[in-house]
Amino acid sequence: MKIAIAGASGRMGKTLIEAVIQHPDCSLAGAFDLPAATCLGRDAGDFMGAQTGILITDNIESALQGADVLIDFTRPEGTLKHLEICQRLGVKAVIGTTGFEPKQLEQLKSFAKHMAMVWSPNMAVGVNATFKLLEVAAKILNQGYDIEIIEAHHNKKVDAPSGTALRMGEVIAQSIGVDLKDVGVFAREGITGERQHGTIGFSTIRGGDIVGDHTVLFAGTGERIEITHKSASRMTYAQGSIRAASYLMQHPTGMFDMQDVLGLKKVVV
């Protein structure tokens, strides 16, 4: 499976390159970054002392030539631009980008009519197992419990709450039959009054080099249930992305997520 990597000089890009190089069933087909990137012209494996023969370029089209799948964890504007080229070249895509506005999400979904892609706010297998656990917990704890979602990430992350936290909120809301847009509380300041029953609160922490921590708190009278996932390495996202890329090889078109990749939608709760 020939894989191209977007954002090759970033932390996630480097992790993806390392994962592809180390995977026995994958080869690096291309790597690209922005024109201002200082790594342009260097071997994509230089950062880890490996020679891949693939030079990092700012020419997206040339980087995608011959690739089966693009893995992209960049920014919404860039991702949509990359997908236009993928569609033209017949390249499938695994998208880990977060922070899409509603109109951008519609654009993203429109590409799936002509190509196959996996888009998920979090590619880690453990996180997606956590989504399923939250679905079960929300159905059991749908009365008498206040729900809060707390997430923490590194100080370079530009969107908040994280895509994973929002997806956790959506899973819970769907499980109890409400719309997150109606019950989500994303900011509290000053005299807010008592907590409104049935809301789902979000708290965001940004600091240091935290890879990604998410906790969902179900707070009842006399007890608390906490479901937590902590990421210690970006490699979990990379390995999940490769698993998603392999899944796409069976599909010519369509929009999928990691729940499809892992077969979790078939698990009845």
Residues catalogued as catalytic: 153, 157
In angstroms, the CA 229 to CA 122 distance is 12
User: CA torsion 24→78→233→134, rounded to 10°?
Assistant: -100
Long-range CB pairs of 225-229, under 8 A, 24+ apart, other chains included: 225/137, 225/141, 225/145, 227/130, 227/133, 227/134, 227/137, 229/124, 229/126, 229/127, 229/130
Residue 53 and residue 43 in contact, taking contact as beta carbons nearer than 8 Å: yes
Residue with tokens 């937590």: 228
Neighbours of 42 (CB within 10 A): 15
Residue 148 and residue 201 in contact, taking contact as beta carbons nearer than 8 Å: yes
Bridge-based pairing of strands 69-72 and 254-256 is unpaired
Residue 163 and residue 121 in contact, taking contact as beta carbons nearer than 8 Å: yes
Sign, CA dihedral 55-61-64-66, equals negative
